[in-house]
Amino acid sequence: MHIYCKGFCYLCGNPLKIYMKSNNYEVRELIRKYKRIKPLWLYNNECFYKLFGSQKIKRTCYSCFKHLKKPNIEKLRNREIGKTNKLTIHPLSLSKNEILLWYEGLKRYIKREFKNRPIMIYNNI
């Protein structure tokens, strides 16, 4: 069982287009069952392309694509004179650590389920 991502967001660095692979049919069934028990919302981690500058296209997550914009001149002015020091909005996409915590829970769940279940052996005879 492995977890993969297609790349990382240019702005926030969160993984894009996350998917899991497994060679065992029983493990795939347990992954589907665990996703129903403890859902993982990856809608904001989808890959979108955004134009930066003149003809520079970068991969971004949906959250950065939709919500993060360049700050206007008033926000920059307020930051320079010390009224505010916060310009960016935190992205809604899941970070690498949050996904790995969910994945560790999945591994513990699969280990516990296989402990209580007889292992099926497939023969190609």
Environment class of residue 36 by beta-carbon count within 10 Å: exposed (0-12), middle (13-18) or buried (19+)?
Answer: exposed
pLDDT for 123: 40
| Run of H or E residues at 115 | helix 96-115
β-partners of residue 8 are 15
pLDDT for 117: 65
pLDDT for 97: 92
Mean pLDDT by 10 residues, the chain (125 residues): 87 88 85 90 89 83 81 79 72 88 89 70 45
